């Protein structure tokens, strides 16, 4: 099949909504790009390729191993060529690499035969600016694999348009416009990061997060990262500290979003302004009154409030969320719109997508806005270290809390076996349970192990082991162990233990309110 017939095959299959042999990768996502043969649609293809690169991080050879991926690039190449042809009023002449080499003998000296150069096209010479061949596959693949926003399909195609045309490239590479709904579902631009990536971008729980009404979102953040889909979100209001780059702790805010993913961010921004104007005002409409009261409250989160029809006929939602500043470019709020993760399994819960997973153009726009606001570029070179430190602190805190919970359970199970409450008395099993709890740092279990070895319950009596357990528990702050140390030292003074040591431990227990320790001090140390 000739290159021209190939072009017709792919373009006609797309227009007829029929599949090509071996399939077309990311078809559903591509449909959201509005491929209407306008020059503006080339910018939407740039955004589409950026989304693929950021989400899947493709490697050239691995990507081309899948025929459906090759079909995707072929179709886009033929589509881009057709867009330029329609703008010129002249259909492209499609050529293979071999055909191009025959027409221009130096072609093979400039380009080697590979997938990227396998097809190219020509347009009438009088309409081109001294450019003979257009290789859209090469431009597409470069954009897909490179984070350099200057390598734009829009720019490359514009070189073949008539000089002075409205569609010709500007002196600087234009920033591709964002396509509403491009990232509207898991099938169109978002795939869950792997476990390692989720740990790297884990939302760090704030100090006030335990027991707070926002904890339902904080507890569900990992599930949202794993099962969520993307929609545009817009800021209604947020804690003012989130607009300052020097602040390094997250805070709450209110966002609106369209669960269907269809409403463009510009319309959401306009609606957000109307909502903020409602704050604290008297409203006859019950829905508007509830929104007004909620926005004025600022202390009570809400998840999935309906935006009533007087404001917008489309079913939109308002939710409270937590802005982790490590999820924001340069650690601060600037633009009003951002990608949000939502899930049908977690209705009303939303979280901002970590900026490291954003399309590069959106992050660039965000940083340009922050520079404009502050008159300087925010130095974010140490943000990764600060983030890692925060994650480590949170991991240490959670590990300690988990260990403490497990230790308490083991300690209490040991008490049941020791006393025979509801089960046969079993000193050996009690010892096993307390040993496990002691490994997790439980001082009560250490003290009880000292009792077992002192009394010879389930073990051979061993005073030295007993004192060792008492000492570890006492140094850890256990009141009972401090008393037991003092009492044991009083009883065992003939073993080389001094009066002073016994007094020291009894005083520590007495200061914590142990009456028996007070009595022993009065009896032996007046």
Is residue 296 one of the residues assigned to a domain? yes
The domain tally of the chain equals 3
| Percentage of residues in the chain having pLDDT higher than 70 | 82
In this structure, are 372 and 224 located in the same domain?
yes
In this structure, are 373 and 414 located in the same domain?
no
Is residue 187 one of the residues assigned to a domain? no
Encode pLDDT of 394-446 as tens digits: 667 777 777 888 888 899 999 999 988 888 999 999 999 999 999 988 899 99
Instruction: Identify the domain boundary among 380, 407, 439.
Output: 380
In this structure, are 401 and 340 located in the same domain?
no
Encode pLDDT of 75-113 as tens digits: 999 999 998 888 887 778 888 888 888 887 766 766 788
What are the angstrom distances between the C-alpha of 272 and each of 31, 266, 366, 455?
A: 28, 10, 18, 72
In this structure, are 206 and 338 located in the same domain?
yes
Helix (H, G, I), strand (E, B) or coil at 469: helix
Contact predicate 338/233, CB 8 Å: yes
In this structure, are 290 and 424 located in the same domain?
no
Assigned token pair, 315: 């079913």
Q: How high does pLDDT run on average in the chain?
A: 80
Is residue 375 one of the residues assigned to a domain? yes
In this structure, are 452 and 477 located in the same domain?
yes
pLDDT band at 204 (very low <50, low <70, confident <90, very high): confident
Encode pLDDT of 339-389 as tens digits: 999 998 899 999 999 888 887 778 888 888 877 776 766 655 555 566 566
Instruction: Identify the domain boundary among 362, 380, 398.
Output: 380
In this structure, are 398 and 518 located in the same domain?
yes
The residues that bridge with 232 in the sheet, in sequence order, are 339
In this structure, are 445 and 476 located in the same domain?
yes
CA distance 400 to 327: 26
Please tell me the pTM assigned to this model: 0.44
* Domain span including residue 230: 195-380
In this structure, are 287 and 415 located in the same domain?
no
Instruction: Identify the domain boundary among 350, 380, 410.
Output: 380
Using alpha carbons only, what angle is made at residue 330 by residues 332 and 352, rounded to the nearest 5 degrees?
A: 60
In this structure, are 317 and 405 located in the same domain?
no
Is residue 437 one of the residues assigned to a domain? yes
Q: What is the dihedral of CA 484, 486, 489, 491, to 10 degrees?
A: -70
Is residue 514 one of the residues assigned to a domain? yes
In this structure, are 207 and 258 located in the same domain?
yes
């Amino acid at each position: 099949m000739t290159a021209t017939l190939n072009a017709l095959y792919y373009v006609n299959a797309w227009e007829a909504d029929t599949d090509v042999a071996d399939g077309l990768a990311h078809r559903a996502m591509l449909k959201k790009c509005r491929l209407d043969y306008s020059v503006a649609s080339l910018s939407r293809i740039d955004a589409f390729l950026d989304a693929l690169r950021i989400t899947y991080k493709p490697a050239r050879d691995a990507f081309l191993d899948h025929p459906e991926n090759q079909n995707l690039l072929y179709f886009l190449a033929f589509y881009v060529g057709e867009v330029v042809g329609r703008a010129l009023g002249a259909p492209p002449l499609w050529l293979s690499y071999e055909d191009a080499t025959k027409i221009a003998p130096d072609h093979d000296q400039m380009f080697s035969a590979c997938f990227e150069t396998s097809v190219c096209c020509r347009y009438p010479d009088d309409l081109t600016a001294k450019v003979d061949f257009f290789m859209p596959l090469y431009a597409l693949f470069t954009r897909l694999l490179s984070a350099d926003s200057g390598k734009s399909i829009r720019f490359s195609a514009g070189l073949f348009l008539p000089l002075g045309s409205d569609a010709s490239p500007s002196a600087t590479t234009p920033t591709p416009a964002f396509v509403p709904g491009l990232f509207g579902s898991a099938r169109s631009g978002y795939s869950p990061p792997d476990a390692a990536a989720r740990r790297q971008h884990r939302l760090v729980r704030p100090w006030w997060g335990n027991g707070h009404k926002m904890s339902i979102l904080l507890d569900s953040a990992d599930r949202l990262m794993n099962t969520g889909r993307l929609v545009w979100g817009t800021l209604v209001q947020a804690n003012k500290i989130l607009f300052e780059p020097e602040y390094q702790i997250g805070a709450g805010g209110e966002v609106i979003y369209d669960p269907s993913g269809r409403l463009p961010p510009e319309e959401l921004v306009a609606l957000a302004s109307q909502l903020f104007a409602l704050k604290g005002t008297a409203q006859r409409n019950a829905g508007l009154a509830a929104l007004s009261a909620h926005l004025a409250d600022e202390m009570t989160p809400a998840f999935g409030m309906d935006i009533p029809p007087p404001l917008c006929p489309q079913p939109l939602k308002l939710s409270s969320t937590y802005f982790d500043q490590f999820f924001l470019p340069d650690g601060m709020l600037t633009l009003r719109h951002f990608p949000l993760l939502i899930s049908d399994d977690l209705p009303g819960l939303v979280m901002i997508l970590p900026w490291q997973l954003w399309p590069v153009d959106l992050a660039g726009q965000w940083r340009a806005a922050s520079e404009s606001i502050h008159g300087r570029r925010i130095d974010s070179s140490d943000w990764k270290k600060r983030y890692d430190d925060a994650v480590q602190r949170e991991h240490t805190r959670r590990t300690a809390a988990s260990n403490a919970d497990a230790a308490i359970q083991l300690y209490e199970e040991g008490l049941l076996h020791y006393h025979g409450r509801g089960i046969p008395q079993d000193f050996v099993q009690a010892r096993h349970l307390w040993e496990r709890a002691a490994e997790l740092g439980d001082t009560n279990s250490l003290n009880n192990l000292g009792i077992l070895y002192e009394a010879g319950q389930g073990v051979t009596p061993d005073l030295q082991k007993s004192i060792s357990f008492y000492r570890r528990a006492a140094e850890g702050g256990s009141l009972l162990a401090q008393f037991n140390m003092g009492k044991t030292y009083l009883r065992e003074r003939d073993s080389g233990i001094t009066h002073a040591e016994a007094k020291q431990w009894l005083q520590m227990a007495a200061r914590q309110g142990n009456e028996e320790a007070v009595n022993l001090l009065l009896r032996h140390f007046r």
